[in-house]
Amino acid sequence: MKPTIILSFRPAILLAGMCLAAGMAPAASNHENNLEKTFQVTPGARLVLDADGGSCDLKLVDGDSVQVRVFREVKGGNQAQADQLFTNHVVTFQQEGNTVSIVAKNKARLSWSWRFNQPHLEVHFQVSIPKKCDVDLKTAGGDLHLGEVDGAVKALTSSGGIVLKRAAGAVDAADSGGDIIIENAEAALTAHTSSGSIRVQKAQGDVEAANSGGDIVIDDAGRAVAARTSSGTIRLKWIKGDVHASDSGGDIMAERVGGSVDAATSSGSINLGQIQGSVQARNSGGDIGVESASGSVVARTSSGAIRIKAVQGAVQAKNSGGDVSIDHAGSAVDAQTSSGAIKIGTAQGSVEAKDSGGDVTINEALGAVRAQTSSGAIHLKLAKGKVEARDSGGSIQVSEARAAVQASTSSGDITVGWVTQPSEDCRLEVSGGSINLSLPPSAALTLDARSSGGKVQSELPVTMEGGVRSGVLQGKINGGGPSLVLRSSSGDIEIKSAKTTLPAAEAEEVPR
């Protein structure tokens, strides 16, 4: 017996009917219920808006009145649902003296209005204010667009952006979820946002900008700036006062600053242009660059390079994992790195350079020099002050020495060229290399040179003391003077007559 097959068309018919009914249903319409109020005020008035939702446009007009228009529109639903939403949204207008207040809030949360594809209320405020009027705007959800305000501004939104064209008074702008743009703040400015960027085109007073998740850009600030962000870039173009910039996860850039700079970032680079004051720069994970500074510079990074071009004051540069480069310092230099090279162009004060894993190069030092490296070479081109150089694994060279030199290395040659008479005792000692030096023909020194595994030779005449011994030369050069002690465990010692010497007038100016 064949099975019986029953075909049912009822579900298909019902589905088709539902689709037809949906297609024939009238489209949901929008419903409006707008409010408007005008208040007479005098100069020095204050406008307060407190709303639990809605955007606001504010503009400056001639006259002596405050005009408030509240545009309320229900999207979708029927008239009964719209009326319920309008009734639930209570707008209160009030004037006390010269203060105008608008409070717009929902009495209760209608459960059905929050469901998907249900009718909802949208609110927008249009406010016109006269001159000499302060503004205090607060909304829990919407953009705030302010034109010109001839007074102080306080603007707060929980979700949306804030745009201000101009404010004559102090500005306090806070946003929990959007961008803040300030075109012109003629007094002090405070801008905070939790998520978004902050852009200030011009501020004539102090600026405080704080951001938890975006960039901060300030084009022109007439006074001090404090900028802080947890994730983003800080870029400052022309700041006439001091700068304090802190970043936990991005770059810091300041092109021109009329005061001092204190900048710190945990991850990113710090690049500073023309700084009229001192600089404090700290970085936990990137490079530090300073174009010029009129005061002193302190730069520290754990990983990255430090590059300083021109500083009128002292420089302290410490690096745990990269190169240190200083083109010009107007005073003392303290440079340290654990891994990388140290390069100094000109230092008009004393120099202390310490390197655990690279070369130390100094082009010109006008003061005393202390240079040390564990692995690499030490090269000083011009040293006007006393030199102390210690190397554990490389050569030491002082091309033009004008004062005493104390140098020692475990592996490498020592080369020193004196162009003037050293006024203090000198000592050169090498464990695994040669010693090569030159002295002015008129230099008066007491020589004590010894080599355990090489020869000792001198172009300058030496009045020997004691007998002749291999690898030993002791005596007086030109009648004697400060001691010159030379020691080599394995290598030759050679003393030559300098071809270039310093004129007597310049020799008297050599720093001690």
Instruction: Using alpha carbons, select from 327, 352, 357 the residue that is nearest to residue 340.
Output: 357
pLDDT-derived band at 500 (thresholds 50, 70, 90) equals: confident
Tell if the pTM clears 0.85, that is, is over it: yes
pLDDT, mean of residues 87-111 = 93
pLDDT in tens, 227-268: 999 989 999 999 999 999 999 989 999 999 999 999 999 989
The pLDDT of residue 267 is: 86
Residues 6+ apart with CB under 8 A from 505: none
Confidence band of 111 (pLDDT split at 50, 70, 90): low
Q: Which residues have C-beta within 8 Å of that of residue 510, sequence separation ≥ 6? A: 384, 385, 402, 403, 420, 423, 502
Helix, strand, or coil (residue 11): helix
C-alpha span between 202 and 144 (Å, rounded): 19
Count of other CB atoms within 10 angstroms of residue 300? 18
Residue entry with tokens 């005073």: 331
Q: Please write the tens of the pLDDT for every residue from 138-165.
A: 999 899 999 999 999 999 999 999 999 9
- Note whether 257 and 276 are within 8 A (CB): yes
Read off the tokens for 360: 């130390």
Give the model's pLDDT for residue 469: 80
Segment holding 371, helix H or strand E: strand 369-373
| pLDDT digits 0-9 by tens, 100-109 | 999 999 998 7
Q: pLDDT averaged over the chain? A: 91
CA-only gyration radius of the chain, Å: 39
Whole-angstrom Cα distance, residue 186 to residue 73? 37
pLDDT, tens only, 305-322: 999 999 999 999 999 989
Q: Indicate the domain borders of the chain.
A: 31-142
